[in-house]
Amino acid sequence: MSGEDDSTAAEEGDGDAARDDASDDAPATVPVTLYTREDCSLCVVARETIESVAADLDGVRVDLDVIDVDTDPELAEEYGERVPYVLVDGHPAFKYEVDERELRLKLLAAT
């Protein structure tokens, strides 16, 4: 009878493992906010870097929100010339330049 209990436990365990594997396959979503402004060449490079890293990173989906600080007087005052400014998962991450390696690490740490 203990053999039946063992097989039942194994079957239940296999089901749990299958469910865990299925949830592991879904990429984690990490919000990234890029504060930018028109005619900002560093902002263009920052966006390209974020999009490139996001495309190459398995298991992580980047939800990129690009915000032009000049469309909101409060943001324009807060960020001034400090763009590009990047938040990863709501936390300040980069100012002026986005380092690919550091961005990968921050995205993985946020999952």
**pLDDT digit of tens for each residue in the chain (111 aa)?**
545 444 444 444 444 444 444 455 778 999 999 999 999 999 999 999 999 999 999 889 999 999 999 999 999 999 989 999 999 999 999 999 999 999 999 999 999
Local structure of 92: helix, strand or coil:
strand
Could you tell me what percentage of the chain is helix, strand and coil, using 3-state DSSP and rounding each to the nearest 5? 55, 25, 20
> Which domains does the chain possess?
27-109 (3.40.30.10)
Count CB-CB contacts under 10 A for residue 65: 11
Q: Please report the pLDDT score of residue 26 as a whole number.
A: 78
pTM score: 0.76
